[in-house]
Chains A and B, each alone.
Chain A
Amino acid sequence: MTVPFRIPTTDLDYCLEQLLEHKPPKILPPETIQQLCHTLKTQLLSVPNIMPLQSPIAVVGDIHGQYHDLLEIFQIGGAPPTTNYLFLGDYVDRGYYSVETISLLITLKLRFPDRVFLIRGNHESRTITTNYGFYSEVLSKYNGSADVWSYITDLFDYLPLGATIDGKIFAAHGGLSPSCQQLDQIRALDRFREIPHDGIMADLVWSDPDTEIMDFKLSPRGAGYLFGLDVINKFCHENSLVQMIRAHQLCNEGYTSYWQGKCLTVWSAPNYCYRCGNKASVLEILHSNYDSKRTSTTTSNYEDRFDSTKICLRQGVLPGQFFNIFEASPENDEDTLKGKSVNGINSEDEYAVNNGDFFSGFFREKSRKQHVEYFL
Chain B
Amino acid sequence: MSKVGLEWTTPSKKINAQSDLVYFKKSVGYRKLFKTLTLVISKVTNVQLPGEILDPEITTRKKPVSKRSLPSPSAIVESEPKNKLQKNHQVRSFNGILEILSQLNKLIDDTPPLAGPRRFGNMACRDWHDKVIARINNLFDEYLELPQKTDKEGLYSELGSYLLNSFGSKIRLDYGTGHELSFLAFLGGLFELKILPVDLLSGVDILTIFAKYYDLVRRLIIDYNLEPAGSHGVWGLDDHFHLIYILGAAQFNGDKSAPPVSQVLTSQVISTYKSTNLYVNAIAFIYKIKSGPFNEHSPIIYDIHASVVLWSKVLQGLFRMYEVEVFGKFPVVQHFYFGNVLYTWRDSETNRELPITSGDELLEEDDSPGFLNGYQGVNTTRSNISMTGAPWANKPARAIPPTHGHIGRK
Contact = CB atoms under 8 A, between A and B. Distances in A.
Interface string B371-400: 111111001111111111111111100101
A127 to B, nearest CB: 6
Contacts of A363: 295, 302-303, 306-307
B231 interface: yes
A310 interface: no
B382 A347 contact: no
A93 B300 contact: no
Given A133-B235, A342-B267, A249 B292 contact: no
Q: Binding site of B, secondary structure by majority: helix, strand, loop or mixed?
A: loop
B146 interface: no
Contacts of A346: 66, 68-69
Interface string A345-376: 11111010100000110011000010110111
Contacts of B316: 375
Contact of A96 (B299, B375, B394, B406): B299
Given A342-B294, A348-B68, A221 B387 contact: yes
Given A250-B381, A252-B380, A374-B320, A230 B410 contact: yes
A278 B381 CA distance: 6
B2 interface: no
Q: Binding site of A, secondary structure by majority: helix, strand, loop or mixed?
A: loop
Interface in B347-375: 369-375
Listed from nearest, the 5 A-B pairs whose CB atoms lie closest are: A222-B393, A344-B61, A375-B317, A94-B233, A343-B287
A133 B383 contact: no
Contact of A343 (B60, B302, B370): B60
B385 A275 contact: yes
Given A274-B297, A375-B304, A336 B390 contact: no
Interface string A65-78: 10000000000000
A375 B314 contact: yes
B407 A122 contact: no
A276 B384 contact: yes
Contacts of B303: 363, 369, 371-372
Contacts of B371: 220, 222
A341 B65 CA distance: 13
Given A231-B407, A250-B380, A251-B380, 13 more contacts: A96-B296, A216-B400, A271-B291, A273-B234, A278-B380, A340-B267, A343-B274, A343-B284, A344-B62, A345-B61, A347-B69, A348-B70, A374-B317
Nearest to B410: A214
Nearest to B289: A275
Contacts of A230: 407-410
A101 B292 CA distance: 18
A345 B231 CA distance: 27
Contact of A215 (B235, B294, B398, B407): B407
Interface in B45-59: 59
B59 A278 contact: no
Contacts of B121: none
A61 interface: no
Contacts of B314: 375
A223 interface: yes
Contacts of A322: none
Nearest to B290: A274
A14 interface: no
Interface residues of A, number: 83
Contact of A178 (B266, B385, B400): B400
Contact of A273 (B299, B385, B394): B385
Contacts of A341: 267
A221 B389 contact: yes
Contacts of B308: 372, 375
B400 to A, nearest CB: 5
A311 to B, nearest CB: 21
B321 interface: yes
Contacts of A338: 293, 295
22 contacts: A64-B233, A96-B299, A122-B388, A131-B391, A140-B235, A218-B398, A221-B388, A222-B389, A222-B393, A250-B386, A252-B380, A252-B381, A272-B385, A275-B239, A276-B383, A276-B384, A335-B287, A335-B292, A342-B270, A363-B302, A363-B306, A369-B303
A371 B302 CA distance: 11
A312 interface: no
B340 interface: no
Contacts of A181: 403-404, 406
A221 B401 CA distance: 17
B197 interface: no
Contacts of A220: 369, 371-375, 387, 389
Interface string A218-233: 1011110100001100
A363 B270 CA distance: 22
Nearest to A197: B392
A141 B376 CA distance: 39
B318 interface: yes
A277 interface: yes
A136 interface: yes
